[in-house]
Amino acid sequence: MVFTRRVITRTYADYTRYRPALRQDFLYRCAYCLRHEYFLGGEAGCVIDHHRPKGGLYARPDLLTVYQNLYWCCHECNGNKGDTWPAPEQYTAGQRFLDPCKPEDDHNLHWHVADNGTRTALTTVGTYTIAKLVLDREGLNYHRQRLMRWEREYAELVAALEAWEFEPTMQALLEARLTELRTWLEPPVFPRSKHKQERGGIS
């Protein structure tokens, strides 16, 4: 998956003001593990990640409020990434984080996902990103396995409903299951509560 950013015409001194735009540009998903915020407790399950970190040995404080350096990210991936950034010689050798806003860094080009949800790196970038963000953690493997199972079931149900006629009760049950699966594969997006916003509930 590759994310396409909008062109920002208004800049903010407070980078957290970009939250609404980032959520939309990253399709309400973590830029790295791709989990939808629906499975993370909603908007509160994600934070703004500075791709080039604002702290650490290779800090880029000049990019603190630059929109192109901001990524929508789950708490877990953000915590694992922290202020980590490769040394120049590592970066040149391909030991760097995947940048999912660049076509050459499409997730699918850097690792393969097996039916059991595990990832196998295909490139040096994939190896580095998986290791530093711990993208092979058990919970993520389970989540990916479940998503793939839902995708297969959804495709099978669509094919069955198109090919066969079912008695009304069974038809209704199958259509209800299809709707349920669609909700999980294309999750709804919920606005953050007004109470949280008023209290400054921003990461």
pLDDT value of residue 124: 98
Q: pLDDT digit string (tens) for 69-104?
A: 999 999 999 999 999 999 999 999 999 999 999 999
C-alpha 22/C-alpha 31 separation (Å) is 10
Q: pLDDT digit string (tens) for 151-202?
A: 999 999 999 999 999 999 999 999 999 999 999 999 999 887 665 444 444 4
Q: Phi then psi for 113, rounded to 5 degrees? A: -105, 120
C-alpha 47/C-alpha 149 separation (Å) is 28
Q: Where are the alpha helices (DSSP H) in the chain?
A: 19-25, 75-81, 88-92, 107-110, 124-133, 138-163, 168-185, 194-198
Q: pLDDT digit string (tens) for 127-147?
A: 999 999 999 999 999 999 999
- pLDDT range class, residue 63, cuts 50, 70, 90: very high
Judged by DSSP in three states, 5 sits in coil
Which pTM value belongs to this model?
Answer: 0.89
pLDDT value of residue 28: 97
